[in-house]
């Protein structure tokens, strides 16, 4: 497996070792000892999720405030533009973002540590997106940030994605920073 640091502290792109021939392929999508040794991921995963979305669906930018989830994400069918935003106020990369293309062809994974916001945009006809989480989903603890917030400046590959009603009501990044200031 190869790992690549990003400009976000603790966030990594991962290329698993793929064994393949004309019959197909095999890869380890997670191996606790290796991920701990190579990336320092010594966190228990408590939930696995699988979502399917159609072209131009954008999900996010989601985070949990009191029980942040780390996510090890990958695409098993299709292609997505995946984004992590550092929402840790004491981090040197606070408010910065990193994107990566995840696809069934490149088989890359993306480690998004606890304390980050996460989003993805489907680029293919549809995409099956799988991710391991370090904490349970709690809808009462979720905070959603506007996908196109100018203060973040994420360079999305399309202008008019399909959003859920929840994501249409997302808050500006400034509201998130005001929440942090008020509660810390």
By annotation, the residues acting in catalysis are: 62, 131
Q: If DSSP codes are grouped into helix, strand and coil, which group holds residue 182?
A: helix
How far CA 14 is from CA of 24, 52, 88, 94, 184, in Å, comes to 21, 22, 22, 22, 33
For the record, the structure tokens of 32 come out as 């606790």
Structure-token match 């994400």, residue found: 73
Q: In what order do the strands lie in the sheet with 47-54?
A: 2-5, 12-15, 109-112, 71-77, 126-133, 47-54
């Amino acid at each position: 497996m190869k790992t690549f640091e990003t400009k976000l502290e603790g966030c990594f792109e991962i290329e698993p070792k793929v064994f393949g021939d004309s019959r197909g392929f095999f890869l380890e999508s997670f191996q606790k000892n290796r991920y701990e040794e190579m990336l320092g991921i010594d966190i228990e995963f408590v939930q696995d999720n699988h979502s399917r979305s159609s072209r131009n669906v954008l999900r996010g930018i989601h985070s949990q405030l009191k029980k942040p989830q780390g996510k090890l994400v990958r695409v098993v069918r299709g292609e997505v533009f995946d984004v992590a935003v550092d929402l840790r106020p004491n981090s040197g990369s606070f408010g910065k973002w990193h994107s990566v293309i995840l696809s069934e062809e490149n088989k890359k994974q993306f480690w998004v540590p606890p304390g980050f916001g996460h989003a993805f945009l489907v680029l293919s006809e549809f995409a099956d997106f799988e991710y391991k989480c370090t904490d349970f989903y709690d809808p009462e603890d979720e905070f959603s940030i506007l996908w196109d917030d100018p203060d973040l400046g994420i360079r999305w590959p399309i202008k008019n994605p399909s959003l859920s009603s929840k994501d249409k009501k997302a808050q500006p990044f400034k509201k998130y920073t005001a929440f942090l200031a008020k509660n810390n």
